[in-house]
A and B are shown apart, each in its own frame.
With several copies, the nearest count.
Chain A
């Protein structure tokens, strides 16, 4: 299991290649990649701030919940911090299980929790200035599906 933050851009494909390598019993790998949207020029740069140490530990608790709930062989969470340009990946989550239902559900669950509860502070730098973003009502509703 791995939970990492990175200031540098990353390639989700390279992460998937490494995550799937050598798995002869896994059967199913689900992934999610979140990409910064340009929103037709409305957002130039996204700035994500974490609390190093604390943020990884809180995400690790979410990961442990997923492991308790589904029979997973492995999972990984990689999250960008700092300045992120449109088109760059923000988050990559991968789950490995014997069967696809567990892999899909755990990946979906991890994303819902990351989007609504993970300790990040997010600022959009757009043509109309800067603004801090909070989770949307949809983000909260998505997360509440798992209660």
Chain B
């Protein structure tokens, strides 16, 4: 059960901010989310969306443990 966090417009689009999802990799997590909500799935792969696993930006796939925190970060607004 990875903890998934959505920020900014992604949260508005999905209608949730935080969920637990059973997935052992980022790739699996993304297909589970896309299968449930195709719009969200497309947005998560959208331009400028970065992914942080345990608060570190990752590119490509990454293994997840039951304690992983996965954050989808849309383009940042700045302060």
Contact = CB atoms under 8 A, between A and B. Distances in A.
The answer to whether A and B touch in the complex, with CB atoms under 8 Å apart, is: yes
Contacts of A37: none
A143 B5 CA distance: 29
B2 interface: no
B8 A117 contact: no
Interface stretch (A8-16, A22-30, A67-75, A127-135): A127-135
A116 B79 CA distance: 7
B78 interface: yes
Interface of B: 5, 7-9, 12, 52, 55, 71, 73-79
Contacts of A34: 79
B78 A49 contact: no
Contacts of B52: 51, 54
Given A51-B7, A54-B71, A120 B76 contact: yes
A134 B75 contact: yes
A135 B78 CA distance: 6
B77 A132 contact: yes
A99 to B, nearest CB: 14
**A-B interface, 6 closest residue pairs, ranked by CB to CB distance from nearest:** A121-B8, A122-B77, A114-B79, A115-B78, A54-B55, A135-B78
Interface string A45-61: 00011010110010000
A119 interface: yes
The interface centre, meaning the residue of B5, B7, B77 with most chain A CB atoms within 10 A of its CB, is B77
A34 B79 CA distance: 9
12 contacts: A48-B79, A49-B7, A49-B8, A51-B71, A57-B55, A116-B78, A118-B79, A119-B73, A120-B78, A122-B77, A132-B77, A134-B77
